[in-house]
Structure 1
Amino acid sequence: MNEQDARAAVHAAIGQVAPDVDTEDLVETSRLRQDLELDSLDFLRLIETISQATGVDVPERDYTQVSTVKGLVEYVAAHG
């Protein structure tokens, strides 16, 4: 999967899990849990939504790599 497709999938998943987040103005360096205010359950739903949409499974050991919007986009692009 290329980075553009991965970005679209991540933005769509964030919009689905956190509809109050404006995905049009997402900053790539935004931290998912702190800046976007996703709690633990929201974060897990985001990971599950990404997995269902892209087929990319993010194991718990890789959660630190996907802690930002950019990190998640890059992870999905690299593994999708």
Structure 2
Amino acid sequence: MTDPTAPATPAEEAARALVVDVLAGIAPGPELDGLRPGDDLRETLGLDSLDFRNLVVGVSGRTGRRIEEDDYERLTDLAGWVRLLTTG
């Protein structure tokens, strides 16, 4: 487990920026600017299942990484997305 107080690596910053950029096309608004790593994306941004699916498709398309349904339960917050995108 990573130290939550440690500075983000360049890869983690890039992953976060990518996810936030995709989210900006799905759920733009002031909530996105204040999004913290552990905030529940569905609650904080008001995402429904179609929005979440669009997030999955958008991130997958931009990264070339296949995101399986089994991964969805780990992708409830920004920290989960960053972990998925920065680990093997």
Category of TM-score, reference length = shorter chain: 0.7 to 0.9
Name which of 25, 33, 49 aligns with 1:16: 25
Work out the percentage of aligned pairs sharing the same amino acid: 33
TM-score by length of 2: 0.79
The AA in structure 1 aligned to 2:87 is: A
- Mind listing any 5+ residue stretches in structure 2 that lack a counterpart? 1-9
Structure with higher Rg: it is 2
Q: What is the match of residue 66 of structure 2?
A: 57
1:71 aligns with 2:66: no
> 2:38, 2:79 within 8 Å by CA — same for their partners in 1?
yes
**CA displacement, residues 9-56 of structure 1 (integer Å, 9 cap, x when unaligned):** 011011111123543311111111122210000000000000111112
* Residues 9-18 or 27-36, more deviating: 27-36
Say how many residue pairs are matched.
79
Flag the 1:67–1:57 CA change in 2: closer, same or farther, 3 A. Answer: same
Deviation at 1:2, TM superposition (A): 1.4
Flag the 1:21–1:43 CA change in 2: closer, same or farther, 3 A. Answer: farther
Deviation at 1:64, TM superposition (A): 0.6
Moved over 3 A (4+): none
Backbone CA RMSD of aligned residues: 1.7
1:26 aligns with 2:35: yes
